[in-house]
Amino acid sequence: KDIIEIDVTSPSTRPREKFESLFDQTDKIVELIKERLRDITLLKKEATDDKKESEKYAFSDVVVIDGRRGTGKTTHLLTLKEKLKKELDGKVFCLDVIDPANLSDDIDILQVFLAELCQILQVDICNSQNLTDFHKVEEITSSIHDISLILRKFTKLNKDDFPEDEHEAMFMNYEMLNLALKVHSLAKKICKFLKVDAIVVPIDDIDMNLTQTYRVLTFIRDFFSTPYLIPVVALDTSQALAVIKKRKHEFFGLNVSDSPSELDDSLEFLRKLPAEWLQKVLPPSRRIILPDILQIYENYMKDKRDRNKRIYFSYEANGRKIKIEFSEVVHLLLALVYEWNYIPGFKDGIPYQIRNA
């Protein structure tokens, strides 16, 4: 009999290697990041200017962690940062996870990204006594403030139905056209300062912000498509698609059945357009789909039946050690997430000590 016991009392008691071998997909994410790093190696050999680099290598290269609720997307983002320190230390710098939940029409994801960069630079310069480093940070911070100012002015411009200064409005539109190049140049400078090849940008739960999902994804495609930035995005793509259709119904809501009968099926593309757009922003080739809890449960039950394999989670509390078999953990999770009645009769059947653990 193959028995695995995982002590989850605390992170220090949990044997990481056992947990990772069962559920973890971060190795695949690291491999996708390594692919991008190989592109950067080629880019450095060419030694072209920023504009040519941006034009040649700027494309949406987002790594997507796709999965339904409870599949471990956030856990993978947090585990990724730890793994990158071990495997790609000196090659990439991984930011803290960005949560778009609090974004609004006034605060976009690019501004949050810039604020995090400023914080990193401030910490770095506080730990350095090098005057050259200080001047470099001043230069980079100035570039960050320039981009931030453009974003703030453009946001204000979009809110004004009739801008007071038409020349300024025209200038701001021109500045926005060059913003992707400015972000590219900024990312390149920061990578050089931090002595890394790229910055990994983990972004969680994009689909949970019901008003900003479309805007966040648009910003990622427009401004994070530089080889020096590697966004790793966690979301449920089916939910994101539903949110985009709902928020942007004037573009995506028209079905062929809604159109006048004299129009032919050429309007069929409107029905498919949201999914096509989402594939453009989040390339399927860079997508890792996490199995939902029911798939994991079915695979485990098959192993349990065919190979007599058992997995137990143990937890110590108040001097008592509670040991729960994996199938019971899944039942408990489903009960907590989807309410007790999700599994008929389950609440009465679950052991008392587990319900009160």
Q: What is the pLDDT of residue 34?
A: 92
Q: Which residues contact 44 (CB under 8 A, 6 or more apart)?
A: none
Nearest alpha carbon to residue 77 among 102, 103, 96: 96
In terms of C-beta density within 10 A (0-12 exposed, 13-18 middle, 19 or more buried), how is residue 196 classed?
buried
3-state secondary structure the chain: CEEEEEECCCCCCCCHHHHHHHHCCHHHHHHHHHHHHHHHHHHHHHCCCHHHHHHHHCCCCCEEEECCCCCCHHHHHHHHHHHHHHHCECCEEECCCECHHHCCCCCCHHHHHHHHHHHHHHHHHHCCCCHHHHHHHHHHHHHHHHHHHHHHHHHHHHHCCCCCCHHHHHHHHHHHHCHHHHHHHHHHHHHHHHCCCEEEEEECCHHHCCCCHHHHHHHHHHHCCCCCEEEEEEECHHHHHHHHHHHCHHHHCCCHHHCCCCCCHHHHHHHHHHHHHHHHHCCHHHEEECCCHHHHHHHHHHHHHHCCEEEEEEEEECCEEEEEEHHHHHHHHHHHHHCHHHCCCHHHHCCHHHHCC
Per-residue pLDDT, 19:
46
- Tokens of residue 189, six digits: 């400078």
Q: What confidence score (pLDDT) does residue 196 get?
A: 93
User: Residue 237: its pLDDT value, please?
Assistant: 84
- Round the CA-based radius of gyration of the chain to a whole number and report it: 24
Report the pLDDT value the prediction gives residue 12, as an integer from 0 to 100. Answer: 56
Place of tokens 């966040």: 216
The pLDDT assigned to 38 comes to: 87
Tally Cβ neighbours within 10 Å of residue 297.
18
- Helix 50-57 vs helix 26-46: angle between axes, to the nearest 10 degrees? 140
Bridge partners (DSSP) of residue 288 are 65
The whole-number pLDDT of residue 164 equals 55
Q: Which residues of the chain have pLDDT under 70?
A: 1, 10-23, 47, 124-132, 156-175, 246-274, 293-294, 334-357
| C-alpha dist (Å) from residue 201 to 22, 127, 183, 209, 271 | 26, 23, 14, 18, 32
Per-residue burial over 254-282, b if 16 or more Cβ lie within 10 Å, else e, is eeeeeeeeeeeeeeeebbeebeebbeebb
Whole-structure pTM value: 0.74
pLDDT value of position 92 = 93
| The amino acid at 4 | I
